[in-house]
A and B are shown apart, each in its own frame.
Chain A
Amino acid sequence: MSKKLLIVDDSKMSRIFIGQHVKAAHPDWVIQEAGTGEEAIALIENELPDFCTMDINMPGMLGTEAAKLILAAHPDIRLVIFSANVQESYQNEARELGTILVPKPVTQASVGLALDYFLGV
C-alpha cells in the first residue's frame, strides 16, 4: 500500500535528495515537503502522513519542538530527526520523543536508516 512521507527541512537541496533516495527504494510513496516546523504542523492538520523526517535548525521553531507537538497530537506518525546538528542533547531529546536522530549528510545510507526506522526493520 502506498505511504505518505512528509520531509521537513529548510534546505531545498536536502528535501530533493531525501525524496530521491526514498523514491528509489519506494517509487509508490507520496512525498510532501515543508520548509519550517510551522508549515509542517499546518500541513499535517490537513493531511496526515505515515512518516516524517524533521530537520532541527530551521527558521522559526526548532525541529525538535515541532516534532514534539506533532507526535503529541499524532502519535501514530513514525518520525525521525534528520539533522547535521548531532549534539548529544538533541540525540537525548530524540530518544525522549521515542524516535532517533539520523545524522546528515543525506546519503543512501542515512536515508536507509530512516527507512528502516519507519518500517520497523
Chain B
Amino acid sequence: MAKTVIVSCGTGIATSTVAAKAIEEACKEAGIDVITKQCKGQEIPELLKQGADLIVTTSTLRFDPGIPVVKGLAFLTGVGKDQVVQEILDHLRD
C-alpha cells in the first residue's frame, strides 16, 4: 500500500512544490510507493483525517500531529539534503 506524505509550507504552492517533487523522485529511486499531498500549514489537520504516514514541512507546525514530522528546508537550500532524504525514506520504510 502506498505511503502518504503531507508536504506543507506557508502558501502550499512554492516550497512544498519543490519538496514534493524531490520526495517523489527519491521514493521512486528507493522503490517506495508514495503519494504526496501538498498543502498550507492550516490544511494539515484536514489531510490528517484522511490518513498520512509522514509530514514534511518548511514552515513551523504549531501543534502535535501525532505522526512524524521532518523539516524540509534542505530541499530548498541544499544544506543537509542527503540526510533529510534518508530520514524521510527511513520513516516510510517502517
Determine if chain A interacts with chain B: no
Which of B's residues lie within 8 Å of A, judged by CB? none
